């Protein structure tokens, strides 16, 4: 009897670990292709592989295993469900400017220190037209590239991505990171303009076909994003935040 109870306990732990969302997320990303999130990565992956139906055991209520505790799993769960609203973001150490001349920017900040620039995008149509629901209305059926830590290409329709964004509780959520949005949705290029401080573009001397990626549309929920990094080719990028925090 004692041996049976030990075996049952081991099977319970194995069941818990084999149902970990990051495991199924990694499995799906290794398959790649068009992603349509089904509410969990396990269900999404099995559906992608045609291994489950809508009435499978995945629809059953959650199982409970009394007596099993894992600090590792609890910490992961906490990171998946915590909100960033309780954290302090602005300690006032980064200088803010509403507008600068090009000469002032080059002499005081370019390559010398950080500065947050405001009011450079106040007149952009994107300020209002790029609200999530408006984008879904206008471009819901358009496919965008998704960030992933996988050699496989992941793409999603915008409406499917927004559904994923609202349902997910991933520790490291996927986000739209599309360098071809200007080609697939050229109308978006009309909704913004390059600020006067960043008009110089050395990539412009190249033929368009030879030019490396130089513009991205980025959309994601809280906790999504890249870790500390250096941009390819040691290039410098300007980023405009239209909604949320970066």
Distance in angstroms (rounded) separating the CA atoms of residues 56 and 62: 13
Closest CA to 102 of 197, 200, 217, 173: 197
Interval 151-164 mean pLDDT: 92
Q: Where are the domains of the chain?
A: 2-51+68-85, 86-119, 122-234
Instruction: List the beta bridge partners of residue 36.
Output: none
Is 204's pLDDT higher than 70? yes
Write the pLDDT tens digit of every residue in 28-58: 988 888 999 999 999 999 988 888 765 555 5
How far does CA 50 lie from the centroid of its chain?
Answer: 26
Q: What's the CATH architecture for 122-234? A: Sandwich (2.60)
The C-alpha angle 66, 72, 76, rounded to 5 degrees, equals 100
C-alpha separations of 171 from 174, 187, 221, 224 in Å:
10, 33, 11, 8
**pLDDT-derived band of residue 123, with 50, 70 and 90 as boundaries?**
very high
Interval 53-74 mean pLDDT: 71
Write the pLDDT tens digit of every residue in 81-119: 988 887 776 666 788 898 789 999 999 998 888 888 888
Give the contacts of 227 (CB within 8 A, at least 6 positions apart).
none
Closest CA to 60 of 121, 15, 24: 15
pLDDT for the residue numbered 90: 65
């Amino acid at each position: 009897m004692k041996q049976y109870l030990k075996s049952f306990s081991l099977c319970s732990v194995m069941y818990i670990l084999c149902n970990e969302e990051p495991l199924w997320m990694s499995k799906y990303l290794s398959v790649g292709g068009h992603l349509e999130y089904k509410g969990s990565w396990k269900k999404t992956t099995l559906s992608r592989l045609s291994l489950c139906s809508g009435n499978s055991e995945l629809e059953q209520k959650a199982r409970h295993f009394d007596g099993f505790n894992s600090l590792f799993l609890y910490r992961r769960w906490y990171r998946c469900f915590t909100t960033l609203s309780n954290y302090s973001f602005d300690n006032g150490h980064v200088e803010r400017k509403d507008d600068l001349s090009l000469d002032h920017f080059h002499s005081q900040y370019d390559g010398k220190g950080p500065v947050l620039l405001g009011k450079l995008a106040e007149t952009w149509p994107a300020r209002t037209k790029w609200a999530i629901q408006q984008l879904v209305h206008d471009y819901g059926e358009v496919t965008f590239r998704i960030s992933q830590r996988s050699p496989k290409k992941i793409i999603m329709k915008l409406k499917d991505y927004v559904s994923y964004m609202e349902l997910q509780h991933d520790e490291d959520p996927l986000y739209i990171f599309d360098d071809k949005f200007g080609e697939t949705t050229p109308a978006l290029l009309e909704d913004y303009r390059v600020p006067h401080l960043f008009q110089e573009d050395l990539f412009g001397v190249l033929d368009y076909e030879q030019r490396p990626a130089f513009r991205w549309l980025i959309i994601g929920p809280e906790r999504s994003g890249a870790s500390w990094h250096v941009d390819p080719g040691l290039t410098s990028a300007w980023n405009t935040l239209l909604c949320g925090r970066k």
